Amino acid sequence: MPEIDQDERREWLQAAAKLEGAHRVTLGWMPASLAGYPMLRAPQLARNTPLMTEEMTTRYIRSKEEFASGLNQLSAPPSAPNLLGADSMGALQLDEAARQIRRALTSSRAWVAFHSAHQSLNDDAKEALRSARRELKQRLSAAALDDHESNLAIPRAEHRSHTMTEAVRSLTGPDRIYADAFGEVDRLLDLTMGNVFGELVLFGEPWRAPVFNVETQTPGEPLVGFQTEPIGAFLSTGQVLWLSTEAVTDAVWVELHSIKIDQAEGTHYYFEARVLLNTGEGWPSSTTQVPSI
């Protein structure tokens, strides 16, 4: 591997840090339009949960400072254009792009369901949510985590996730509906602003992949299964694709990938992907084909 000049490495790391900072502040600004923000009652936002920890986690981390910074009073993510070195015109374009994304999120099923769940909270439900957060604060305290696992990061992270899930599942009635609705909002942000956005930034326009044996999604489950040959070995989880089938007209995000090797039939590649609903209407048709093998 060729050596990288130290100044070049330092410059790259500084640019990457600014890019990450702009993405993080944008991601923090997006949910500021949620009903009740910044006083969100979700147990998932209790101290030391996977969303609020300072340790290793697979989730985007929130912070008290973020909720106290008045993001719901701002018309665009603060400091993002400056971090990206945008000129005045570029700053306007970045701000408007962020507003367009948030308008789309605000009209999404997850956002609307959360608003309805917030409106349905009564005093008993609010107290149940407070109680769940108090319990999580105790069960995920530094001492409690050390008792479970004092050194290894992955078991500590798994314990946080399991404990948070238990707390949500212990709820009933409007409080459970509220916590579940927040979970759907968080998953939507993770999918759109993390997985899909990151894929498009890194790799550009999605490929259109030739597929067969397509298993279309069932109502309420926007998942689709398919096989593809001979380019299966070049596809992986996390990719955004268009499928060459009239059965699925929206783009998809690949979630699962499996391989079956048979001496008689050869190697087969199976995929399961999440359908990115309505992208077929709002996204220009792909002009990029999978490279020929």
Question: Does 292 reside within a domain?
Answer: no
The verdict on 158 and 248 lying in the same domain is no
The verdict on 214 and 187 lying in the same domain is no
| Confidence band, pLDDT 50/70/90 cuts, at residue 168 | very high
Hey, what amino acid is at 212?
F
The span from the CA of 116 to the CA of 127, in Å, is 18
**Domain housing 245:** 207-282
| Confidence band, pLDDT 50/70/90 cuts, at residue 13 | very high
| Confidence band, pLDDT 50/70/90 cuts, at residue 217 | low
For residues 70 and 207, the answer to whether their CB atoms sit within 8 Å is: no
Q: What is the distance of C-alpha 81 from the center of its chain? A: 22
Among 185, 203, 221, the domain boundary falls at 203
The verdict on 248 and 194 lying in the same domain is no
pLDDT tens figures, 174-198? 999 999 999 999 999 999 998 998 8
The verdict on 230 and 198 lying in the same domain is no
pLDDT tens figures, 228-281? 876 766 788 899 999 988 888 899 999 998 887 777 777 788 999 999 988 888
Q: Give phi and psi for 248, each to the nearest 5.
A: -130, 105
- pLDDT (average), residues 36-45: 96
pLDDT tens figures, 59-72? 888 988 999 999 99
